[in-house]
Amino acid sequence: MITYRATLDVPFSTVARVSRWIQAHRRAHDERPWQRAATCWAQAVLVLRWFKDDTKVHLLARDARVSQATAYRYLHEAVEVIAEHAPELSDVLADGLEQGWAYVCLDGTLIQTTRSGARSEAGRDVWYSGKHKAHGGNIQVLTDHRGFPVWTSPVEPGSVHDITAARTHGVLGALYPAAAAGMPTLADKGYTGTGIGIHVPTKGASLAPDNQTRNLLLNVSRASAERANALLKSTWKTLRRITVCPHRIGTIVAAALVLLTMQRSRW
């Protein structure tokens, strides 16, 4: 076996901060934290390699000199530690109002996963998205007016529609007061019927010129929301296809959002 040097395209400050979070978590929950098989720094590097390069767990275990079972345990633990620092939706909207954002954008994205055999009572594959023709989890992403993701929702199975997922996690109920305070939400046609303050394009093939102009303005303004989803998936390769339990997708995306926000000055 040949060893060689490699570079992880993540700022040193990000690794250092994640390492400190893991250290604080160990001190709070471990009876004997000094008996861990790997250091906090090694665990931080392990989880960041998984996010950045989608490195296989058996390779992470080999490089960290731990068993594969321990590597999985360290990976899930570190993801949960990072996700604990994700912002609450109410705090994000309050900050947006304070900073004078003109609007926010809401969009759903599918985080693809390996095939799942879970079935609904009607016998349907609940994790299969007919829209995307793939298995995955539905995540609602809220962006600021510049197109940077500021909040992500817990996961819903891929068969769940965007408007249903938004209602399930109380997203719409939080957006209404923000819209009343002067910060509306822009969304696509999948959110038609959400109510006042959430602006969606008008449906129809032969629209009046006024409606066509309105649709054009809405689509141009909310195009930044698509950039946010692309930014998450292009920065963290593991989000392109999750191979762990799909119920963990929400926590994984929340952790990815925290890591992306730590590097926001790079964009």
What is the rounded distance in angstroms from the CA atom of residue 89 to the CA atom of residue 172?
Answer: 11
User: What long-range pairs does 96-103 form, CB within 8 A, spacing at least 24?
Assistant: 96/144, 96/150, 96/178, 96/183, 97/178, 97/181, 97/182, 97/183, 101/144, 101/145, 101/183, 102/145, 102/183, 103/145, 103/183, 103/184, 103/185, 103/186, 103/221
Only one residue has tokens 């609007």, namely 103
Question: For residue 218, which amino acid is it?
Answer: L
User: Which region, left, alpha or beta, applies to residue 242 given φ > 0 means left and ψ of -120 to 50 means alpha?
Assistant: beta
- Which sequence spans correspond to the domains of the chain? 12-83, 89-245
Chain CA centroid to CA 264, Å: 15
Q: Helix, strand, or coil here: 82?
A: helix
From first to last of the 267 residues of the chain, give the pLDDT tens digit. Answer: 777 777 888 999 999 999 999 999 999 988 887 788 889 999 999 999 999 999 999 999 999 999 999 999 999 999 999 999 999 999 999 999 999 999 999 999 999 998 777 777 777 888 999 888 999 999 999 999 888 999 999 999 999 999 999 999 999 999 999 999 999 999 999 899 888 899 999 888 888 999 999 999 988 888 877 788 899 999 999 999 999 999 999 999 999 999 999 987 644
Decide: 54 and 240 in contact? Cβ < 8 Å. yes
User: Which region, left, alpha or beta, applies to residue 195 given φ > 0 means left and ψ of -120 to 50 means alpha?
Assistant: left
Predicted TM-score of the model (pTM): 0.92
Residue 256's nearest CA partner among 228, 229, 231, 232 is 232
- Helix H or strand E segment including 37: none
Q: Helix, strand, or coil here: 113?
A: strand
Q: What six digits make up the tokens of 80? A: 């949960």
What is the rounded distance in angstroms from the CA atom of residue 199 to the CA atom of residue 193?
Answer: 10
225 HSE (CA, 13 A, CB side): 22
